[in-house]
Structure 1
Amino acid sequence: MATKLHHFAFLPILLPLLHLLTSSLTAVDAAKILGLFAHPSESHFAVMQSLMMELAKREHNVTVYSSHRLNERVENLKEVIIEPEFPFWKHLLEVTDSQTGGLQKLSQLAESSMQKSLAAVGATAVDYFLSNAAVQKLLRLPVKEFDYDLVIVDLFYTESLLAVGHFYNKPTVAIVSTNFESYMQHVLEQMVPAACSPNDYETYQPAMGYWQRLGAIRGCLSRRKQFVKSNWGAQEQLMRKHFAHFKGVNELNIATLQAELAILLLNSHVPLMTLRPLLANTIAAGGMHIRPPRELPWPIRRFLDESRAGVIYMNLGNEQHCGDIPKPLLHLLVNTLGKLKERVLWTCHDHTAMKDLPANFMVQHAVAQADILAHPHVRVFIMNGDLLSLQEGIVRHVPMIGVPIFRNEVRNMALAVRLGVGIQLNHDNLTEVSLKWALQALKEDSTYPLSIRQVGTAFRDRPLGAVETCMYWMDYVLRHQGGVQLKTLGIGMPSSQLHLFDLFMYYFAVALLIVGVLAGGFYGAIVFLKRRETEKMYSKLS
């Protein structure tokens, strides 16, 4: 017995040594990380903010160029604010001539027109970002003085930013914080034929007929061609303008830059993402912007705590100010929700402009939405169908009422309805009756709380959490020579090769040759037989 105890006496010494040994296998020395976030959307930046703060807290030296502030002080984090913020949605309304009709008119644009407009305004936003004096100073650094170890960019009509990693020979991580299918397909470049990997996975039917498959591949190729022309073309012009001092910029294209990506982080995950082929360096990490809930400011916490009847939380998106909501819809929301016994917490950018609201209303802007949804008194979430909001509602187990405007929002709410976590109301004919019905259904039907807990559990069920997954793969890139082991050589191949058109031309030529030989032989045989008959006929006459 004494001998056994003697052996165990070494455990206090061995365990720390074992821990040190195993942790050293994955440890990464403090790296210098550069974040370039040109897209001015506040919701997009919520994803970037979460990741950059986590990198800084893990003792990396982080520098962020953005038009939004991180709102937290960390010693090893430097912020370069691009001010004033680029008015993205204002420019989009001007480009599409939708100033009078606002978002409603904008949402009625054809898909192709919307993609062209987004590409044009996206390029203008990136041009504004790259023209900033602080960014220009960064881009003018000699290669030897550019001592960052990793470059991180927000990839949404901002592809020209990938040139920074290319010209300074640094590994680049791109983050896609949205799930626009027609945009994602080009970003991922899956090397799967379009008929097998269509843009719209949600409505894809495997047992399509011949003409349906033909229409699918024609539509996919048409969208890709337009995307390359409108978005990549504009981004390549920006490269030639802002990176003109680098050798070889005129020969560089976006396809090459995307092929050089170390990893691509997608803010999506099953069951909110329909399964599809993913390359090894394409990482699904949905919910990366959702952190553990933090304490709410006292006024908001008291407002929520004292609402024994429950709270309805409302956020209709960052695309427009609450004061710009069409007056009939604004009056409908205020009058209907103002009659309820529940309290209503409303997030608005222009919170100071909202006057004469009912007594059960409170308007705020600065508090993180995910922290509000984590409060136990929040029972219903009224929102616009934004992907980040959908993820936050599911993770916090708050059923949703969606009033979507744009196509991606409509798709997100259709997914929410399919999963049983929300109700979709039509934006054009929203009435007091339909809104009351939806609120009553979410409060009284027990299937919604049950379904959202099941979906939330499935969404979080993965080897590592969303942020931990991102941290692991960024460290992987830093540990292993920029993640070259993950890159697929076929990325960026021409569509003719991707869809085997050039190979099928060979088989078509062979088939044509065989048919030609057979036709020639058949024709020759007929001529020969006719000649024999003619000769026999003449021989009889003679």
Structure 2
Amino acid sequence: MLSGHAFSSLLFISSLSYVCQSARILGIFPTPGRSHYILESTLMTALVEAGHDVTIVTPFYEDYQTNGTGTYRQIVLTGVAEQQKERRKAINLFQHSKVNPFLAIYIMNRVGLSQTESTLKHANFQRLIHSGEKFDAVIVGQFMNDALKAMAHHFGAHLILFSSVGTSTWVNHLVGNPSIPSYTPEMILSYPAKMTYFQRMKNTLVNFVYNINQHFIFYPKQSALLKKYLPNPIGLNEALFNVSLVLMNTHESIAFPTSTVPCMRQIGGFHVKEPKELPLDLRNFLDEAEEGVVYFSLGSNVNSNHLPLEKKLAIAEAFSDIKERVLWKFEDTSFAKNLPKNVKVSQWFPQQDILAHKNMKLFITHAGYASTIETVHRGVPIIAVPIFGDQSMNAVYAETKGFGKVLPWQDITKDTLVGMIREVIDNPKYKEAAKRKSALLRDREVHPLKSAVYWIEYVLKHNGAHHLRVASLDLTWYQYYLLDVYLPLFLGLYILWCLCKRVKSLIRRSEKVKVS
């Protein structure tokens, strides 16, 4: 018979063996953006290195060789990335950078429905759907693709969401996380946390319209896609509100602090890697920059060539007027021939490795979230030139937290750009703020990538971790907002007020009768 100590040891070893055993994990990440893919592939390859058998659905192919005991299978949504590349050439995002928030909701509906349907009907994905395979967990990249959440039920798996940003109206209601418009700015509005009265009013209105749109327009269309492309589909609501875990690419050092329910975990900075050695010509350019280096990139989704000519000329003139060397990620190679000698141009730079260089002084960026995290991690201040999406919100974060300034692209002139470059580089407060935020971002109990793997394995170990689910998910909308409580209370108070008024009226009338 086992002693108590031996029995406890046996239980401990058994639990370890369960955690360490290989799980079958499916990642569905249809967004055709390279910056998104970098995040998603980093997460999935970490699961491979932890010993799991991973299948990833994505528009991109990567020649990846596993170093762990797990396996890595890619199901490529062929043609999607190529189509997106052609659209990027055709669509001038600078002409659509300022969009009415209500129009933005309509645009997101269209983009989300198109992307979801193109994924569901893709031949490679359809083969997976009809393969009869089963998985232990399905991780879905969260972006207006709610029908894909039903894949967890289809494959008999626990549902995990990966959000490339932090908390948002898109994801909060799925796990019962409070999303109070009085202090939670909508991403498309880019307001500060401390909003003015009129900002709170507009924020509340946009939040209301968004929720109405989501439940009465967008979700029914997503549900129709389920019925069209899935054998034996479940109801969309059953798929939506069955989330075991939300991994969020955010951290308080960068974004505004917000409330989170227990199943939401911050892993911001998880994709940042140790810097690699730079190519020789680039390394020499950086090493020999006695006055430092300015790095300018508008990211992978914005075509810099679409900048109006007068803006490109203004930027070139500004760079010729500063003492620092400049790295400019720029697609227009013909324009690059006429640039000053202190400017080095390329269609691609190893961004993380550049930001880690000791001579890096400033990052002029579109303020994409991944880029913002990378620059904060390295303690490099920024000038934010937001174009679309969440970039304006990230720019607000940078300016509010003191590690950067915002320069709308419409306001770029030689003088405004030179003036802001000098302000951010020469005023030590921006560098100091960036270093403080870097220290906060790095100061974690465990590396965020290890944390992500841990929580995914935690969900598997505890069969979906239902104990993390909050009770608000079991309430109807009128119960959640206490309308069923407030309505009777107010009705009772109104009846009581009417009775009191009636009694007072009767008393006054009787007194008049007595006097007469």
Q: TM-score, normalised by structure 1?
A: 0.82
Identify the residue that residue 419 of structure 1 maps to in structure 2: 401
1:361 Cα deviation from its structure 2 partner: 3.4
Q: Report what 2:192 is aligned to.
A: 203
CA–CA distance in structure 2, aligned partners of residues 342 and 472 of structure 1:
43
The answer to whether the aligner puts 1:70 opposite 2:62 as a matched pair is yes
d(CA) in 1 for partners of 2:423, 2:63: 38
- Residue 93 of structure 2 is matched in structure 1 by 103
Q: Which of 289, 299, 302 is equivalent to 1:317?
A: 299
Note the C-alpha offset of 1:187.
5.0
State which drifts further: 493-502 or 389-398: 493-502
Mark the CA change 1:355 to 1:197 in structure 2 (over 3 Å): closer, same or farther.
closer
* Residue deviations 1:300-352 (CA, integer Å, cap 9, x gap): 3343334344322111123332222222112222333245453322334x476
CA distance in 2, matches of 1:92, 1:240: 31
Tell me the equivalent position of 2:110: 120
**Secondary structure of residue in 2 paired with 1:482:** coil
CA contact (8 A) 1:49 1:289 kept: no
TM-score (norm 2): 0.86
Map of 2:52 onto structure 1: 60
The answer to whether the Cα contact below 8 Å between 1:399 and 1:452 also exists between their aligned partners in 2 is yes
| Structure 1 equivalent of residue 382 of structure 2 | 400
**Structure 1 residue 239, shift from structure 2 partner:** 1.8
Matched, 1:496 2:478: yes
Q: Is the 8 A contact 1:186 1:224 kept in 2?
A: no
Cα distance, 1:193 vs structure 2: 5.5
Which of 247, 256, 267 aligns to 1:285? It is: 267
What whole-Å deviation, never above 9, does each CA across 1:143-175 have from its counterpart, x for those lacking one? xxx232111111011121110002333112111
Return the alpha-carbon distance in structure 1 between the equivalents of residues 21 and 128 of structure 2: 24
Question: 1:165 aligned to 152, 162, 177, which one?
Answer: 152
Which residue of 2 is the match for residue 80 of structure 1?
75
Give 1:174's match in structure 2, choosing from 161, 176, 184: 161
Pair 216,84 (structure 1): closer, same or farther in 2 beyond 3 Å: closer
Take 2:182 and 2:364, find their aligned partners in 1: how far apart are those partners? 37
Q: Does 1:356 align with 2:342?
A: no
CA contact (8 A) 2:366 2:386 kept: yes
Count, aligned residues: 500
Amino acid at match of 1:418: T
Distance 1:88 1:236, change over 3 A: farther
1:371 pairs with 2:371: no
Q: Distance in 2 between matches of 1:356 and 1:372?
A: 22
Question: Is 1:28–1:479's contact at 8 Å kept on the other side of the alignment?
Answer: no
Once the two structures are TM-superposed, the CA of residue 355 in structure 1 deviates from its matched residue by: 4.5
Answering whether residue 138 of structure 2 is matched by residue 151 of structure 1, we say yes
Larger Rg: 1
**SS in structure 1 at match of 2:54:** strand
Match of 1:36 among 28, 31, 52: 28
**2:57, 2:389 → 1: CA distance?**
30
Mapped partners of 1:84, 1:107: distance in 2? 27
CA distance in 1, matches of 2:169, 2:49: 35
* 1:193–1:499 contact (8 Å) kept in structure 2: no
TM-aligned CA distance change 1:353 to 1:140, over 3 Å:
farther
Match of residue 5 from structure 1? none
C-alpha distance in 2 between matches for 1:307 and 1:176:
38
Distance in 2 (alpha carbons) for counterparts of 1:343 and 1:26: 54
- Over 3 Å counting, the alpha-carbon distance change for 1:92 and 1:305 in structure 2 is closer
2:192 partner amino acid: T
For the Cα contact (< 8 Å) 2:381–2:403, is it kept in 1?
A: yes
- Return the offset for 1:440: 2.1
User: Aligned partners of 2:276 and 2:424: how far apart in 1?
Assistant: 26
Q: 1:179, CA displacement in angstroms?
A: 4.5
Counterpart contact for 1:259–1:492, Cα < 8 Å? no
Aligned partners of 2:179, 2:318: CA distance in 1, in Å? 49
Q: Is the 8 A contact 1:63 1:77 kept in 2?
A: yes
Identity %: 22
The separation in 1 between residues aligned to 2:48 and 2:239, in whole angstroms, is 27
The Cα of 1:221 is off from its aligned counterpart by: 2.6
* Pairwise CA distance, 1:214: 7.5
Q: Deviations over 1:452-474 (max 9, x none)?
A: 11111012222122212211111
Residue of structure 2 equivalent to 1:513? 495
**1:467-501 CA deviation, whole Å, 9 max, x = no partner?**
12211111111211122221223227443222211
Query: Which amino acid counterpart does residue 506 of structure 1 have in structure 2?
Result: P
- 1:357 shift after superposition: 4.5
RMSD, aligned α-carbons: 3.3
**Structure 2 CA distance for aligned equivalents of residues 405 and 503 of structure 1:** 45
Q: Work out whether residues 39 and 122 of structure 1, in 8 Å CA contact, stay in contact via their aligned partners in 2.
A: no
The letter for the 2-side match of 1:253 is: L
Deviations 1:341-379 (A, max 9, x none): 53322334x476665153443334555421221122222
SS at 1:515's partner residue?
helix
What amino acid sits opposite 1:47 in the alignment? Answer: L
Q: Match of 1:4?
A: none
